[in-house]
Amino acid sequence: MTENEKKAVLEYIDSHKDDIVDFLCDFISQKSINLGTPGTGEEGDAQKWVADRFGGMGFSRVDRWLPDENQDRPNVVGVIEGRGNGKALILQGHCDVVPVLDDERELWTYDPWKGTVKDGKLYGRGASDTKGGNTAMFWAAKSIIDCGIGLSGDLVVESVIGEESQEGETIGAAATVQRGYRAPFAIVSEPTNCEVHIESTGVFMFELTVPGKSTHFAARNQVLYPQRHGIDHGPSVGADAIAKATLFIDLFSRLEVQWNQRWQSPTLGGGGRPLAVDKEGVGLFNINISFINGGGYIASVPGACTLSGLVSYPSWVQAEDVICEMKKKILAVSGTDDWLLENPPVFRAPVVLWKPYRLPGEHEGVRVVSKAYQEVTNKTAIISGFRGSCDATFLNDLGVPAVTFGPGSLGFGVHGPNEYVPVEEVIRCAKVYAVTALTWCGSH
Ligand SMILES: [Zn+2]
């Protein structure tokens, strides 16, 4: 990469800021909703839109294929073919977005399906997760093409499906590798606050079913309090499963704090010792109770209550160890209650497991992307870890070393109302992707 080439792409991206914003707004209006379970992604139209845009950008070739013939859910790849003697780079982002829940729709200040810029923030579903990052990747490639710069290695830009539904492992990210798109380094566009995330947490889903015994609500008094001699009371009459479930809600919130106090990581913070420069927040572990499902009838003491949710854990802890500790403590808490001692709750984990990824900090790709960040911003890149799980796991698993680096943050309304991405971060990431590509692939 020459200084002139670098200058050319940086100026190109700056001078196309309005076009990049328009592109992202248009991309957001291409609804690509994924309800979150396999087979529910509706990415077809949006991916056709992406392929059409790629077609007009001047890629050497555009590949759009159906990894599953029975679903209109194509992956799309645009390749700038290198002229030889260079390394390939993959820039990958997922095109599917989570739905806007009916009861959250009114919490949105702007239409979630139409990008709106206000005070430097671009609002819309997918702005951070991950259409902002994808837009930056597409425009990084376009800047190189339009500036007439020839690359030595291939630059491979991928728009994949199924990330939100754990299908990255099958028909999404993994399918691109199976189709032959390999490289010694890849960047995934998840929102990292423009930090270079060399590892992620792992995530698993759990379910805890707390048994109760339903009875007429008017008999609640008998369930709870001693009665005159000869009148039944206590568990022989009924047991309130929702009340008993609160013991485990409390247990999980205490475990979450204890785990974060017990463990420390130089990459992910935690241990009450946040890295001063790490904007993604403290905390290695999360126990998020996502659903509480209890009771069956308005006039009954609830007969069962199920807590289900997600646990995230750092890459250097085994999911089995975390699950084993949860089991032991659930049993210990059950031992404090006569009913639960006799009728222990049923714990299922992992119901689903998303594995973490971890790339050594000394990997050359980490060095190159960090240096590109430094060159674009005059600031030192922050090396940290991603607190969710994402497609980088599947790329790493299949031998494509990958990091995540992208605009926006999981805290900017992602998977909630008023999702946004700072426009400046989209532009900054487009520049970092472009300079990374010029350095990594080589130019001539
Ligand atoms: Zn997401």
Comma-separated ranges of CATH 3.40.630.10 domains in the chain: 3-200+356-441
Cα of 191 from ligand 1 centre, angstroms: 9
Comma-separated ranges of CATH 3.30.70.360 domains in the chain: 202-353
* CATH among 2.40.110.10, 3.50.50.60, 3.30.70.360, 3.30.450.20 for 202-353: 3.30.70.360
Cα of 188 from ligand 1 centre, angstroms: 13
Cα of 99 from ligand 1 centre, angstroms: 10
pLDDT band (50, 70, 90) for residue 16: very high
Q: Mean pLDDT, the chain, as a whole number?
A: 94
59-80 residue pLDDT tens: 999 999 999 999 999 999 999 9
- CA 160 to CA 113: how far, in whole Å? 20
Calculate mean pLDDT across residues 313-323. Answer: 92
Would you say 198 and 432 are in contact if contact means Cβ atoms under 8 Å apart?
A: no
Q: What's this model's pTM, rounded to 2 decimal places? A: 0.86
Q: What percent of the chain clears pLDDT 70, i.e. is strictly above it?
A: 96
Would you say 150 and 444 are in contact if contact means Cβ atoms under 8 Å apart?
A: yes
233-283 residue pLDDT tens: 999 999 999 999 999 999 999 999 899 888 777 666 554 444 545 555 555
pLDDT in the model for residue 158 = 98
> Residue 328: CB partners within 8 Å, gap ≥ 6?
none
Q: Among 41-45, 117-121, 201-205, 297-301, where is mean pLDDT lowest? A: 201-205
Q: Which fold has domain 3-200+356-441?
A: Aminopeptidase (3.40.630)
Q: Among 199-208, 256-265, 333-342, 361-370, where is mean pLDDT lowest? A: 256-265
- The larger pLDDT score, comparing residue 200 to residue 77, is at 77
Count Cβ atoms within 10 A of the Cβ of residue 298 and give its class: 0-12 exposed, 13-18 middle, 19 or more buried: exposed
Would you say 156 and 87 are in contact if contact means Cβ atoms under 8 Å apart?
A: no
Neighbouring CB atoms inside 10 A of 291's CB total 10
DSSP β-bridge partners for residue 31: none
pLDDT in the model for residue 119 = 98
Cα of 10 from ligand 1 centre, angstroms: 29
- CA 420 to CA 411: how far, in whole Å? 10
Q: How many Cα atoms within 13 Å fall on the side-chain side of residue 390?
A: 30
DSSP β-bridge partners for residue 203: 312, 354
Cα of 164 from ligand 1 centre, angstroms: 6
Q: How many Cα atoms within 13 Å fall on the side-chain side of residue 207?
A: 11
Q: What percent of the chain clears pLDDT 90, i.e. is strictly above it?
A: 88
Please give the structure tokens belonging to residue 237: 């009459």
Cα of 34 from ligand 1 centre, angstroms: 10
